[in-house]
Homo-oligomer: A and B are copies of this chain.
Amino acid sequence: MMHRALHELPRAAPFLKELLRLLRAQGPSTAWDGKDDAEILAPFLLPKGRRESSGEEPDPDVFWRIEIFHDAVGLAIEARTGVVCTTMLKMQHEGFGRLVLLAGRLVVVSRFLRDAHRFGFESVERLADAGEKLVAGGESMIERFPEAARYAQ
């Protein structure tokens, strides 16, 4: 998975494109030099065994990954609808939390997380699918409540 060539990734997916752009933009300018897309996405992939194991120390970067994953969902929604979304994450105890994407007065995406400390996907395809599904859901919410989504302030 780590050494998959760039052209094999489902790049047609707008979500994945936005996620890669965000990841490349956030690192120091040299951090990703020479790395292909699959390597950049590697921190989002968890082998099945690791996902299911327990008792290990939570990865301190996991909340950053959760936020950037959903930021990319927001950017893909914006690309399709013109509506700008903001991510808000509220973590509670033991990996439980709530994640929303907001636009205007609309909750565009709403998720209750559990096992947040093991946030990750089995493959790039699953990562892309999960993102696209949220994008599609957000898009239909904006269609349903267009006035709330575009409400200023």
Contacts and interface: CB of A to CB of B under 8 A. Distances in A.
Contact of A88 (B98, B145, B147): B98
Interface in A130-153: 141, 145, 147-148, 153
Contact of A105 (B90, B98, B110): B110
Interface residues on chain A, size class: 10 to 19
Contacts of A88: 88, 90, 98, 100
Contact of A102 (B100, B104, B141, B153): B100
A40 interface: no
A107 interface: yes
A89 interface: yes
Q: Taking the full assembly, how many copies of this chain does it contain?
A: 2
Contacts of A145: 105, 145, 147-148
Contacts of A141: 105
Given A102-B107, A105-B107, A106-B106, 20 more contacts: A86-B98, A88-B88, A88-B90, A88-B98, A88-B100, A89-B90, A90-B90, A100-B102, A104-B107, A105-B141, A105-B145, A105-B148, A106-B148, A107-B107, A107-B148, A110-B153, A145-B145, A145-B147, A145-B148, A148-B148
Interface of A: 86, 88-90, 98, 100, 102, 104-107, 110, 141, 145, 147-148, 153
